[in-house]
Amino acid sequence: MTKLKTIYLTTGYTTALKRIAMRGGALREIKFHATCVLWEHPREGYILFDTGYSPRFFDETKKWPMWIYAKATPVVCKEEWTVKAQLAKKKIEPEDIKHVIISHFHADHIAGLKDFPTATIWCSRTAWREANSLKGFAAVKKGIVPALLPVDFEKRVCFFEQTERKSRKDAFEFHYDIFEDEAIQIVNLPGHARGQIGALFTSDTNTKTLLAADAFWLSESLEKNVYPSRIVGLFIDNWEEYQRSFQKIRGFMHRFPEVEIVSCHCPRTFERCEVLDES
């Protein structure tokens, strides 16, 4: 199996009560960082899993109705925290990013997408159909900010569904082998957002990992089998699918305890990231 050099990056955060992300949790405000992953593939080069926040989010949510989105999720982000800026410090230019894999189209996962104008964009066809169809208040309700998408998106997109679908003998049932080498195995995790996906991979340190995007927010909630507060049901695409995906991950976790399961926003994931100056 192809192994990938892996770096976790945080791009900013929003804050919320722990009890929102986990029923019965403390009435304590915590930071939910928008993290993403940089991979270096031996053949495909540099690959991003999501692009996180960017100050572009502020520009595109100044007017009604996108203003609602900004008020509902107060964001802390700086230009020097963007993926583009962090990669520049590593001497990696935007054109060096060959692929960007989008877990789903919420703004905290795609706000930096325009910074990588030559990358092939990978996503679920189901997710794209929704993101491409929603405007105005309907888009806000689904966490979509259409102006964050590149104008040439459709010229650069590849859909997972166009690649080979391989059967699995676990809770996920199948995956898409997008590079035909099992390096990145795409699994469906719908519920939180339409067409959301996760990714299984093995790092260069031989660590097997499932990136679960927003299929859960806190590792503690997954371990204790506790769902988010009912109030988030107002913002989740499909609550029944959310629960099914959550339980699939739990089933996978119990069958394969050696695999690390990583949520985008969990504080434990932030601990994997390179330190940013928050002053």
Write the pLDDT tens digit of every residue in 46-72: 999 999 999 999 999 999 999 999 998
Provide the 10 A C-beta neighbour count for residue 259: 15
* Backbone phi, psi, residue 207, to 5°: -90, 125
Tell the CATH topology of 5-270: Metallo-beta-lactamase; Chain A (3.60.15)
Tokens matching residue 192: 């939180």
Q: Would the CA dihedral through 94, 100, 102, 105 be positive or negative?
A: positive
**Percentage of residues of the chain with pLDDT beyond 90:** 94
Task: Give me the amino acid identity at 52.
Answer: G
The pLDDT value recorded for residue 233 is 74
Query: In the beta sheet, which residues pair with residue 65?
Result: none
pTM above 0.95, yes or no: yes
- Look up residue 148 and give its DSSP letter: G
Contacts of 243 (CB under 8 A, 6+ apart): 191, 227
Give the three-state DSSP class for 162: helix
Measure the CA–CA gap between 276 and 61, rounded to whole angstroms.
25
Report whether pLDDT(278) > 70: no
Q: What is the pLDDT of residues 143-191, one digit of tens each?
A: 999 999 999 999 999 999 999 999 999 999 999 999 999 999 999 999 9
The pLDDT value recorded for residue 69 is 92
Compute and round to an integer the Cα radius of gyration of the chain.
17
Provide the 10 A C-beta neighbour count for residue 74: 10
Contacts of 150 (CB under 8 A, 6+ apart): 113, 114, 117, 121, 156
Element (H, E) at 241: helix 239-255
